[in-house]
Structure 1
């Protein structure tokens, strides 16, 4: 049996599958390929059956989003290593071998991320994940190669293999046994930041997440939900608060949540002043949803919350006040 299962979550990706699936098929000879379809209403399943018979199809009964969509689909997958790949990803030769070797060599490594470059500008890192993710003390995520909206050119500065804090869901490798131990993604997230929550929970249990530059992929990004969509704003703001309540050390919980909510308010009024009324409303709705689910989130906390989760105290301060817009200028 192959060790790696490449599982692509698809929803109405009839245009994406013919464009990106061929590279996955070509360069994944020693893996089992699956497409998990989230009840698409387009011709996705018909295209898969007709043009890609070598790919196994898992058909979810509804559009469960990223989190539950993967949880449902992966229950049917037997391989010991999962490669969770977005439908808008182009892979390269030898993208799987370094990951399999790292899993085999280091049993405490639970999650791995490859180098992620921009499909539309292949000399630069891509927004979602870049060269590995971290968070600051207040839970703001950033990456080597991408801080907020600033993307670095790939000049080999991150050609290494290091421990990171989180790996992006655009292309995330995880051991099946760890995924099961963590009970998968938190389905209440639906989509966005559930992978950071997963990695944080893995970290609290003592596992490592690593990045390897020996594996390279190209990601389009925003193919399912564009950054200009207020739904994306709502999910990001709400899920960030969910994640903090679940994973922060108890002593830091109240002060950091309070400060994050103040900063969210500032961000909301920034949207309003920019004429983005629906994004302003989305932040408010995110907070109301958070209030309604606060107790439920709190009950999901692990017994252990490790204190050394953050890379820096405030990436917001460094980026917006100190104008440190490149990872290599900060660390």
Structure 2
């Protein structure tokens, strides 16, 4: 097990451990979906985590991919992830499906949590396809805390939807399983058409579903909706078309970021270590404290309120909305 220095949202240098975990189980649980159970080769406990957390799997060829944890947080013997085979992806899922075998060892970073289950009087969980994985431990947490909830779970076909039997056994009538070839699109208007006080919506799935849930819940109280994206949102042109400066308070450097380069790339070139995984603004590993200036937030993690607060930014994709940013790096 090794340590990686991370300059993150707390400002100081944190230590994120990179663990080597063994694949104890690899099982196909639905069409194009495998589940991996990862354990410590020496029998040590895996790191603690909470519903909504994900880990980075470090794969051959410098590939780093994020997967939501979908097991039981109380089980410290293993971490469990579900992986959708994406034939048109960048190769990570194909490696995990086609090459990885039981007994192989993977480097694992994290867990990290950008999708925490916040306290609420009730929950509405909406899942699309493999997006069900982070919601499974949330549902279990709601049951354990005796908080009312309901689940709507959609996918292309029933055979492509993982954890259906588990959710039906766990939730009973509180889960609606709606394969598209049997029921059509999810009835989000019926589910979310009437705003509810003290309720929270948690949704994970493909971008069209997330946009549909955003539209259907537009009248809900601010902060009720919580989304986790697999891929970055479509972005408009940057606020500033030209270069800008970043001042790094911990290293004392002032750097110029040109239009065609990210803050992260310029900072790393200056010798400041940054741990990053997705490079798309979806994983949160490069979250950095803003001390002065206004960011042009281009990530897919921070809520609108968090972006407006302008306290942190994801330097892999976000830029400056002013001539100079002062960052705690």
TM-score after normalising by structure 1: 0.30
The structure that is strand-richer by fraction is 2
The structure that is helix-richer by fraction is 1
**Structure ID, larger Rg:** 2
- RCO higher in 1 or 2 (8 Å CA, sep ≥ 6)? 1
TM-score after normalising by structure 2: 0.30
